[in-house]
Amino acid sequence: MTAQSTSQSTSLSMAAALNRAMADALAEDPTVLVFGEDVGALGGVFRVTDGLEARFGSHRVFDTPLAESGIVGTAIGMAMNGLRPVVEMQFDAFAYPAFEQITSHLAKLRNRTRGRIGLPVVIRVPYGGGIGGVEHHCDSSEAYYTHTPGLTVVTPGTPDDAYRLLRDAIASPDPVIFLEPKRRYWSKGEVTFEGSTPMDRAVIRRPGRDVTVIAYGPMVATALETAEAATEEGWDVEVVDLRSLAPFDDETVCASVRRTGRAVVVHEASGFGGYGAEVAARVTERCFHHLHAPVLRVTGWDIPYPPPKLEEHHLPNVDRILDTIARLQWDDEVVGVRGA
């Protein structure tokens, strides 16, 4: 995988867009480093770092031992001394051995030093299912990170956002957990290289009048497929792509829900204690008098990640989201709130 020539836009897969983002950051800033398990000569198990070691040298793009806690601890030390590490956790659940480093040190050092020391570290985490993997390879671990103050948590839903969000994450003065939906690595789309929506803002991927479907990462494409299918039922679905899970863009999300009066939150992670519970609570607290029906969720089941032959039953799909939209009290009109 090689970097493309600079242009207004070009069609790239999400994996290629991420590769281009790291290549451009490495080229522009000599303090940027990329390291992790097999990210060097192999280019990562998903080939997201393909060609970077050959282009920038093994002193800037290099392999590490299979020791995730050591990878993050090394990144913290490098960042304290003026570097900008971009590290890869090979799979979502592989990051758990590094959890203590992330939550106890990476997230807290700026506060602990009264602002004197920031840690510009990006931790890339391929996450989620849909690739026929097994447990430890398909976790949706976003809630662990979003619950930790001091961490910015973002996830792209399109190749264009993959490029822009990763560039913004690398430029951030503070740590960013960058969750990459591995099932979308090979999806293609137009990527623009100039200008972007700020990293902490959600975007409306599809406008609609009747219900807001709130999604992020791997579920953005599924939500858009649902919106198209919903037209056959007479529902005009608006799709909001959160992009940033922490901080949360209340303004964009609540403006959408106040317009439509109904909301469904969709994610792959288990429902109990999941990120969608926080979204549903915030939307209810801020939009209560505009709602026609309770905010509902479509999530993975409350089970360990299932074997490959069963994951299609675990992951939210178009039919499950449509069934949930149908439960939104369409016959009960609330006087005075429509279009408020």
Domain that holds residue 251: 203-327
Quick check: is 301 in a domain?
yes
CATH number for 153? 3.40.50.970
Segment 140-198, tens digit of pLDDT: 999 999 999 999 999 999 999 999 999 999 999 999 999 999 999 999 999 998 877 89
337 inside domain: no
Global pTM value:
0.94
181 and 237 both lie in a single domain: no
User: Which residues are known to be catalytic?
Assistant: 137
Together in a domain, 76 and 186: yes
- Please check whether residues 17 and 142 belong to one and the same domain: yes
User: CB within 8 A of 290, min separation 6: which ones?
Assistant: 257, 258, 261, 337, 340
Model pLDDT for residues 95-139, shown as the tens digit of each residue:
999 999 999 999 999 999 999 999 999 999 999 999 999 888 999
pLDDT for position 134: 85
Give the end of a domain, one of 159, 192, 225: 192
Stretch (H or E) spanning 202: none
